[in-house]
């Protein structure tokens, strides 16, 4: 069985941190918790207004981009005493979904998207949406804590009328955590860094750039610390920052990513011993 024997793995995701830590420990490694992405659930009047619009059948389409965002909308509808009506409204609306977590969340409520990505990315979702004429249609666009300029620009090009719904927002992690994480990477105190979302990438590299240490960080990722990405979207964010050595699993789940990392080390050890 593949192992992470003697490896220290920095885990940047706060969600399911305990589960990830257990997997690392079961593989023989040492988990280092460095939550590098804050999330705040807004639950504001704008979101409630758009939920009421969905209930009234105002939208022709709803585009859902995250499982957490989808769950949050359903939760807010429940708080309004309208959960069952909201689920019926969704069944009567064309649904587009990005990512397996979103699709799995929908499946829990017996909802099936008619458009979805094939690779976990916004680009993949746009590729599938091109099959449909969206001109002059009303679209609810659930965003995922970050701006989605590619999707917004594309909808504008299609001359669709869309309303952005932001049920939660990413907030910058504590500076002390970023400072400690950066020092651990540069001083070779961690062997790998596990990224589960694009904001984690953005916050770490923005902090490194602010401190004038981005070049050193990139060098560390090439010579010592392995960048582990949960999937293609986060992997692309790492590539855009200049990271070249990235481990990405075929199955975009954290458990699969950590097993893939263990396999990477096994292969590396085999190459070095030849």
Q: What is the pLDDT of residues 241-266, one digit of tens each?
A: 999 999 999 887 888 999 999 999 98
Structural tokens at position 228: 């582990």
DSSP track, 156-174: HHTT-EEEEE-SEEEEPPP
Whether residues 131 and 224 share a domain: the answer is no
Q: Is residue 224 part of a domain?
A: yes
Nearest residue to 260 (alpha-carbon basis) of 224, 228, 220? 228
Whether residues 23 and 53 share a domain: the answer is no
Whether residues 179 and 141 share a domain: the answer is no
Determine whether 264 is exposed, middle or buried from the number of CB atoms within 10 Å of its CB (0-12, 13-18, 19+). middle
Give the span between the Cα atoms of 221 and 224, in whole angstroms: 6
pLDDT at res. 42: 66
Q: What pTM does this model have?
A: 0.71
Whether residues 183 and 76 share a domain: the answer is no
pLDDT at res. 273: 59
pLDDT at res. 1: 45
Whether residues 105 and 148 share a domain: the answer is yes
Question: At which of 170, 194, 209 does a domain end?
Answer: 170
Beta bridge partners of 95: 62
Q: Is residue 159 part of a domain?
A: yes
Whether residues 163 and 46 share a domain: the answer is yes
Residues of the chain below pLDDT 50? 1
Whether residues 159 and 53 share a domain: the answer is yes
- Residue ranges of E strands in the chain: 8-11, 30-33, 38-41, 61-64, 94-97, 115-116, 138-142, 161-165, 168-171, 192-195, 226-229, 246-247
Give the span between the Cα atoms of 114 and 63, in whole angstroms: 10
Host domain of residue 13: 8-37+174-273
Whether residues 166 and 48 share a domain: the answer is yes
Whether residues 128 and 179 share a domain: the answer is no
Question: At which of 170, 188, 208 does a domain end?
Answer: 170
Q: Please give the tally of structural domains in the chain.
A: 2
**CATH code for the domain of 262:** 3.40.50.10090
Whether residues 50 and 83 share a domain: the answer is yes
Contact yes or no for 247/228 (Cβ under 8 A): yes
Q: Is residue 1 part of a domain?
A: no
Question: At which of 149, 170, 191 does a domain end?
Answer: 170
Whether residues 57 and 162 share a domain: the answer is yes
């Amino acid at each position: 069985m593949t192992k992470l024997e003697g490896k220290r793995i920095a885990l940047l995701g706060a969600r399911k941190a305990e589960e990830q830590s257990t997997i690392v420990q079961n593989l023989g490694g040492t988990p280092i918790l460095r939550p590098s992405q804050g999330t705040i659930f807004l639950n504001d009047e704008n979101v409630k207004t758009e939920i009421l619009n969905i209930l009234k059948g105002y939208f022709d389409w709803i585009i859902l981009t995250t499982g957490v965002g989808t769950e949050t909308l359903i939760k807010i509808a429940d708080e309004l005493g309208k959960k069952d009506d909201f689920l019926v409204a969704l069944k009567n609306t064309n649904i587009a979904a990005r990512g397996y977590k979103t699709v799995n969340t929908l499946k829990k409520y017996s909802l099936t998207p008619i458009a979805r990505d094939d690779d976990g990315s916004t680009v993949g979702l746009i590729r599938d949406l091109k099959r449909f004429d969206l001109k002059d249609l009303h679209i609810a666009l659930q965003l995922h804590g970050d701006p989605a300029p590619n999707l917004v620009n594309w909808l504008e090009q299609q001359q669709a009328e869309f309303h952005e719904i932001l049920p939660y927002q990413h907030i910058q992690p504590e500076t002390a955590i970023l400072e400690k994480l950066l020092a651990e990477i540069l001083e070779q105190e961690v062997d790998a860094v596990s990224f589960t979302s694009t904001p984690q990438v953005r916050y770490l590299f923005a902090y490194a750039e602010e401190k004038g240490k981005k070049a050193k960080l990139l060098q560390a990722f090439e010579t010592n610390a392995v960048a582990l990405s949960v999937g293609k979207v986060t992997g692309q964010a790492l590539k855009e920052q200049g990271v070249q050595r990235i481990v990405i699993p075929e199955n975009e789940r954290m458990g699969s990513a950590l097993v893939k990392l263990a396999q990477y080390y096994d292969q590396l050890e085999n190459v070095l011993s030849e």
